[in-house]
A = this chain, B = another copy of it.
Amino acid sequence: MKRFNTSPISGMQELLPKDQAVFNQLKSQIEQVYRLHGFQNIETPIIDRTDILLAKAGGDTEKQIYKVVKTAETSADADQALRFDHTVPLARYVVEHQNELTFPFKVSQIGRNFRGERAQKGRLREFYQLDVDVIGHDHLPIAYDADVIFTAHQALSLILKPRFLIRISNRKLLSGLLQELNLVDFADQIFTIIDHAEKVPDTVTRQALNDLDLSNTSITKLLEFVAIRGVSSSVITALSALQVENPTFKTGLDELTAVLDLLKQQGIADQVIADMMIIRGLDYYTGSVFETFLPDYPAFGSICSGGRYENLASNFTEQQLPGVGISIGLSRLFAVLGPEGLLKVTTQPPLDVMLLPLSVQQYSAASQLAIKLRQAQKTVDINYTNKKLDKKLTHAAKIAHYVIVIGEDEVTSQSFKVKDLLTSQTHPLSILL
């Protein structure tokens, strides 16, 4: 016999049933929060047009995208690849179906995305992302930025054990500051330097700015800006104190103030800080940007992030479609935080009740009992094997909460004893109905 390697390919999520149950539980809790907050669910295809997926991409995305080989019967189709996030297919979806959608379009997407990158712990190649986005037609009020942040906060509160903080900034602040300082030509480099500032000593950041041959005044101002972080009121005061007159900066300040105010109204001000070091790298964000982190476990980095993009689908349509979105990378959270015991999970046996008919003569009674218990929303299995009773009880103890042995006497008397396999106590059937 040819030897096959039966392990999943490296970087794929494949869980044992008990772990899958926990994963599904976390996923459905987040889904429910998204629903309660008024987001409508959609699913885009996993396979999409390569030119659509790569329209705006660059850098790593292009190197990591999984292309799909056309078959004889699909040879006439466009080039195809697997989606690497939910945002690009969403842009195509909104353009394609815009006449049939109502705006603001509050949408959730829950599913697997694919990136062929080097596999490492918590960095999967096939991974679940749970996104919410709000898409406007022409215009989208800043309040929706707070709406998605609050939604993510509510979802994360349900699944995270340790306290977490949401860090918020607005890219218009730095953009405006660079305009004021006449440093627009250096924007890409400076955004990148600040994006990395957190991971390196201050001296390195200062040196990197120095290397750009900026004036000392500019460097001082930039470092002063980057150091601003804290609770809402203090940050707004500090940003105002910079006395930047540039209108983009002022818009950014107004937007940040509005978002912080709204989150205060939602009652989560103590889990929100404004932090000018938040940039979100080379992403397509143009306004609000946010990250979430665990202050007691800083090594995990951002566990949920997102931001505002002024134009979701600028590559596909002239129509202005501003949006704001946030994504929870559940596969990563599960892989990284799960083993550390940092996720709120209630583990329970996979099965509520296992029925053990003693012989074929009791199959019919077992069926009737199963139907009754399932009507009471209990998950029920019947063991039809001809193993010895003690073996069946051992098997039941592995997967079920309760076991009911069904013999001739039980059927005749219609009196069934329910054994709780967790406590070894015995109960009448009524506790399950």
Contact = CB atoms under 8 A, between A and B. Distances in A.
Residue among A11, A38, A40, A381 having the largest count of chain B Cβ atoms under 10 Å: A38
A316 interface: yes
Interface residues of A, number: 106
Nearest to A117: B73
A49 to B, nearest CB: 6
Contacts of A202: none
Interface in A1-54: 1-2, 4-17, 20-21, 24, 35-38, 40-49, 51-52
A77 interface: yes
A386 interface: yes
Contacts of A49: 4-5, 9
Nearest to A38: B381
A89 to B, nearest CB: 9
A172 interface: no
B17 A47 contact: no
A78 B374 CA distance: 44
Interface in A70-128: 70-74, 77-78, 80, 82, 92-93, 95-97, 100-102, 104, 106-107, 112, 114, 116-119, 125-126
B78 A9 contact: yes
Interface string A294-328: 00000000000000000000011110000000000
A143 B42 contact: no
B45 A384 contact: no
Residue among A1, A147, A385 having the largest count of chain B Cβ atoms under 10 Å: A385
A265 interface: yes
Contacts of A17: 40-42, 101, 107
B46 A46 contact: yes
Contacts of A20: 40-43
A412 to B, nearest CB: 17
A45 B4 contact: no
A285 B272 CA distance: 58
Given A10-B77, A46-B114, A47-B114, 12 more contacts: A5-B49, A6-B96, A9-B45, A11-B74, A12-B48, A16-B101, A21-B40, A38-B381, A66-B68, A69-B69, A104-B385, A265-B363
Closest 3 A-B residue pairs measured CB to CB?
A: A38-B381, A71-B116, A143-B384
Interface of A: 1-2, 4-17, 20-21, 24, 35-38, 40-49, 51-52, 55, 63-74, 77-78, 80, 82, 92-93, 95-97, 100-102, 104, 106-107, 112, 114, 116-119, 125-126, 136, 139, 141, 143-144, 147, 262, 265-267, 315-318, 350-351, 354, 363-364, 367, 371, 374, 377-386, 395, 398-399
